[in-house]
Chains A and B, each alone.
Chain A
Amino acid sequence: MAGVVPPGATTVPADDASKTKKADEKVDYMNLPCPIPFEEIHREALMSLKPETFEGLRFDFTKGLNQKFSLSHSVSMGPTEIPSQSAETIKIPTAHYEFGANFIDPNLMLIGRVLTDGRLNARVKWDLTDNLTVKANAQLTNEPHMSHGMFNFDYKGKDFRSQFQMGNGALFGASYFQSVTPHLSLGGEVFWAGQHRKSGIGYAARYETDKMVATGQVASTGMVALSYVQKVSEKVSLASDFMYNYMSRDVTASVGYDYILRQCRLRGKIDSNGCTTAFLEERLNMGLNFILSAEVDHSKKDYKFGFGLTVG
C-alpha cells in the first residue's frame, strides 16, 4: 500500500524550489493540479519494476464481512533468506500464517496484521478534514529494540502537498511538493535521525504527461535515482530506472515491461546486476487469481520461484 515510508529512509526538511513563472503560454498558473504525495513519485516505475516476488507457496484469502469490514488469512511456506556474513546465501524453510482485519471507511482506514512469529503490523489513516490527514504505522516484534512506529501529518493544499513525520528513535522529517506547471512538480525533503545523529536533505522532480512519467531524486545520503516510464499503449508500459549511490559507488540500472491484459497482468524486468524477474497474475475466475513469480540472479547463482493463489 502506498503511503508507508520506512523509518530512517527519508524525509527531511522542506527546501522547495517553487517558482511561479509568468509565461506567455496559455497556462493558468493559478489553477495547477494537485501533485501526488512525495513518497509516491516513483510509483509508476516501482509498480512495473519491483513486483513483490516471493519464494515458495503463498495463499491469500480475503473475506468481506460487511461493506466496511473484512478479514484476511494468509499462509506462506518457503525458504527465507537469513543474512549471513559470508558470500553464500543461507536459506531456511519457514512457514507462517498471518491473520488480518481491515476496516475501510471514506474517512478512516484501519489495518492490522498478526503473524505466527509474534509480529504485529498496524496502520491507521484518518482524514480529519478534506485537506488534513493523519497516518500512523506501527510494527511490533518479540525482539527487543526492533519495534518501531511512525506518525505522519499530511496537508494537501490547492497545488502543493506537505508532510511532517515523527517516528520512534527521535526520527523527524518533513517534505514539500509543489506543482510548478501542469506537467512538472518539484519538491524536497529533510530528515533528522536522533538516534544515529544523522540528518539529510533531498530534492525531487517529476514530469508527467499522458504518455510518460519521468522522475528524478537526489538525496544527501548519496542516492541519485532517476526513472522513466513510457505508456506505449493502454495495455503495455515500459519502464526503466537508474540508481546511483555516490558514497558507496553503487550503480544499478534496470529495464522492465508491464503488460495489463484482460485475463492477466505480466511484469518482467532485467537488471544490470544480472538479475531478471517475472511476475504473473492470472485471473482464473471472478475473485480468484493465480500468481507465479520468478527471480533468477545469474551473478549470485540464486534462483527463486514461487506460486500462489489469491482469493477475494
Chain B
Amino acid sequence: MAAQPKRGGVSLPERRPVSKPESNILARITSSPIVSRGKQAASDAAFVSRKLIRSTGKAAWIAGTTFLILVVPLIIEMDREQQFNELELQQASLLGAPPTAPASK
C-alpha cells in the first residue's frame, strides 16, 4: 500500500476507490459506504498502532539498556557502601565500649 506524500514522514495508506453497486442484499450491505468506511478506519488504526508499538519498543530498548549500564552499577555500589557503613558502625559500637561492658556484667 503506497503512502501518498502529504506532509512528509509517515502517512496513512491511500484509500481504494468505491466499487460498482451489486444486486445481492448482502453484497449491497458490504459495499455500502458505512461498512467500507469502517473497514478503512480499522486498517488505519492497525497501521498506526503497529508503528506506535514498534517505536515504543525501540525507545524502551534504548532506555532499558542505558539504565542498565548507567544506573544499576550505581545502585549496587551505593547499597554496598551503605552496608559497609552499617557494619563499621556496628563494629565501632562493639569495640568502642569495652570498658563499660565488663562493668555492666
Task: Report which A residues bind B (CB closer than 8 A).
Answer: 257, 259, 261-264, 266, 268, 270, 276-278, 280, 292, 294, 296, 298
Contact = CB atoms under 8 A, between A and B. Distances in A.
A268 B62 contact: no
Given A261-B78, A264-B80, 17 more contacts: A261-B77, A263-B77, A263-B80, A264-B77, A266-B74, A268-B73, A268-B74, A276-B66, A276-B69, A278-B73, A280-B77, A296-B65, A296-B66, A296-B69, A298-B62, A298-B65, A298-B66
A268 B70 contact: yes
Contact of B69 (A259, A263, A268): A268
Interface string B53-92: 0000000001001100110011001101100100000000
A257 B74 CA distance: 10
Nearest to B85: A262
Contacts of B66: 270, 276, 296, 298
- B interface: dominant SS: helix
Most buried by A among B65, B77, B80: B77
A276 B70 contact: yes
A233 to B, nearest CB: 13
Contacts of B77: 259, 261, 263-264, 266, 280
A257 B62 CA distance: 20
Given A270-B66, A276-B66, A296-B65, A262 B74 contact: no
29 contacts: A259-B77, A261-B77, A261-B78, A261-B81, A262-B84, A263-B77, A263-B80, A263-B81, A263-B84, A264-B77, A264-B80, A266-B73, A266-B74, A266-B77, A268-B69, A268-B70, A270-B66, A270-B70, A276-B66, A276-B69, A276-B70, A278-B70, A278-B73, A292-B73, A296-B65, A296-B69, A298-B62, A298-B65, A298-B66
Interface in B22-81: 62, 65-66, 69-70, 73-74, 77-78, 80-81
Nearest to B72: A278
- A interface: dominant SS: strand
A261 B80 CA distance: 10
A109 to B, nearest CB: 33
Nearest to A265: B77
A262 B82 CA distance: 11
The 6 A-B pairs at the shortest CB distance, nearest first, are namely A268-B70, A261-B81, A278-B69, A276-B66, A294-B69, A276-B69
B78 to A, nearest CB: 8
Most buried by A among B62, B70, B78, B84: B70
A259 B62 CA distance: 24
Nearest to A274: B62
Contacts of B69: 268, 276-278, 294, 296
B65 to A, nearest CB: 6
A261 B85 CA distance: 11
Contacts of A257: 74
